Amino acid sequence: MGKYTEPATDLLQHVGGKENIATVTHCATRMRFALKDPAKADVTNIESIKLVKGTFTQAGQFQVIIGNEVSSFYNEFVSIAGLQEASKEDVKNAAKQNMSWLQRMIAHLADIFTPLIPAIVVGGLILGFRNIIGDIKMFDDSTKTLVDISQFWGGVHAFLWLIGEAIFHFLPVGITWSISKKMGTTQILGIVLGLTLVSPQLLNAYAVANTKASDIPFWDFGFAQVDMIGYQAQVIPAILAGFVLAYLERFLRDKVHNSISMIVVPFFALLPTVIIAHTILGPIGWKIGSVISTIVYSGLTSSVGWLFAAVFGFAYAPLVITGLHHMTNAIDLQLMSELGGTNLWPMIALSNIAQGTAVLAMIYINRKDQEERQVSIPATISCYLGVTEPAMFGINLKYGFPFLAGMIGSLFAGIVSVGSGVMANSIGVGGIPGILSIQPQHMGMFALAMLVAFVVPFILTIAFSKRPKMNLKTRTKTTKLNA
């Protein structure tokens, strides 16, 4: 009998047996199940297995937190269950049967932006670094920047824009490619479509506002004229165009005979989509995006912006649990396109820090519990680097009150951030390193907001642990009895 034979056998039994598993895979710390009937999973008994650190359901997947041993445990589990190994994509597809239409829509949105996040984070860090060396006057009695006094740093500043422009101005290319990849259509057609939205032949989107209507170039078809406007950094036009191309290609595949599909399908999918994108989808998408960004920005900068910040700061962590937080990526990117930065994303980074600090407080409170430290210490580090799920599901939701303390800390930190007008260049690393993505003139106030996100959750977590209804000793005793 192997090290994981007994817990793997118990887990198999309590998830409803092999017949209840549609597919299963694992990530860095968790087993991820797509169950045919989620109601058959016996959560109480599963969490009583010694190796299990907790459970939760997200995006239709039943996830069991194992920790760093998950890879070896998974191999033993699939061997005992007689299952074939599956990919994360297989589990995602199988899990959609357990999702509502809203959850499926959000999952689609997440699938589009998730492959783009590494590039966007890199872009945010690059823009932040360029602002530090090019905008902050630190020399000659605060009259010159590093770029002003150094040819080397001037060259670095100019060179880094090559990457920044590629990531943000040409973002529609990434979006249309990602949609094609997700929909299983021809990815190069998605890339070409994106390029037609940002081609140098078009008037740059950033120049439109300062260009007279009579000076905007256009295609003249005799019976109609179409403005030659680019959609650099525009999110919604790219999403709309990407889905039109994907659905049109899939429709043509079903209707066109295989013998001529190589010629007919790409041509009659791409050409109509490009025409529709520049005549209908682009202008409509631009307007929708402008309205969304205006509403969000107006709400955050209005006289009741503090209330908006309080609600968002308090609710963001629960949004992560439901998966709804993926919608904020599109809003952030739209704000960046319209306003040159985002005042929404800093609150996300602060919420992550607050949840990580709540776990840090639990490490202090449970400092003699070596078994829990195996989960809490890596979870805290992960949280401070922008990945909150291990912290929230492994510790904070397990006890309840640390999660609430983190939400309250995020609330106050959000008020400080929004109240002082903090803006980020872009989406960045959603934790402590996030300060590098903040516009230089706002870094000081963001640092103050970070301090609030450290202090408030830590104090509240300790205070809540001493309350009778939140007594840690009672909760720990119950947990041990269940185990």
DSSP code at position 411: H
The 10 Å Cβ neighbour count of residue 340 is 13
Which one from 6, 9, 20, 27 is the annotated catalytic residue?
27
- Alpha carbon of residue 187 to chain centroid: 22
Check: CB of residue 1 under 8 Å from CB of residue 62: no
* The two three-digit tokens of residue 307, written as one number: 């209330």
> Going by C-beta distance under 8 Å and a sequence separation of 6 or more, which residues neighbour residue 147?
133, 134, 153, 154, 157
> Going by C-beta distance under 8 Å and a sequence separation of 6 or more, which residues neighbour residue 460?
358, 404, 405, 408, 409
- Alpha carbon of residue 97 to chain centroid: 23
List the end-to-end C-alpha distance of the chain, in Å, as a whole number: 22
For residues 371 and 376, what is the distance between their CA atoms, to the nearest angstrom? 9
The 10 Å Cβ neighbour count of residue 318 is 13
Check: CB of residue 324 under 8 Å from CB of residue 418: no
For residues 440 and 428, what is the distance between their CA atoms, to the nearest angstrom? 14
Identify the three-state secondary structure at position 385. coil
- In sequence order, what DSSP letters do the residues of 204-253 get, joined into one string? PGGGGGGS-GGGS-EEE-SS-EEE-B--TT-SHHHHHHHHHHHHHHHHHH
Check: CB of residue 292 under 8 Å from CB of residue 329: no
383 included as an active-site residue: no
DSSP code at position 381: H
Check: CB of residue 438 under 8 Å from CB of residue 346: yes
Check: CB of residue 30 under 8 Å from CB of residue 68: no
Beta-strand pair 54-58/218-220: unpaired
Residues marked active site are found at 27
